[in-house]
Copies of this chain bind each other. A is one copy, B any other.
Amino acid sequence: MQWNLKGDRPIYQQLVELITMQIVSGMLQAGDKMMPVRELANEAGVNPNTMQRALAELERQGLLYSSRTTGRYVTEDAALIMRVRESLAEEQITDFLARMEQLGYDKEKTIFMIERVSREGN
């Protein structure tokens, strides 16, 4: 796993986003057992406290839950994962449309370009 962490934003925040991506993209499946905090922290090259903070935030969002004795798991609420996935997608789309509009492309031109680019990209 590549944990490409930049120094321009809080680390824990980047960890939240990366783990969220792992969950919504299916890399981590609903119900999967997470690795121990210390191991995750070690793999990511961050302080265990920082990783702990990220996991706590994800628990607050409901994407993870922990049972004190057996460890920490990805939520089994597939609908929640789906909602988060859609929410992230909408965010991507909103940002994207804004950037394209700044370049002078309205929705129709943008969709036309997408068709063209993805045709070429084959």
Contacts and interface: CB of A to CB of B under 8 A. Distances in A.
Interface of A: 6-8, 21, 24-26, 85, 88-90, 92-94, 96-97, 99-100, 102-105, 107, 110-111, 113-114, 117-118, 121
In the complex, the count of this chain's copies comes to: 4
Secondary structure class of chain A's binding surface, majority of residues: helix
A93 B114 contact: yes
A26 B104 contact: yes
Contacts of A92: 96, 99-100, 103
Nearest to A86: B113
A24 B25 CA distance: 35
A107 B114 contact: yes
A118 to B, nearest CB: 5
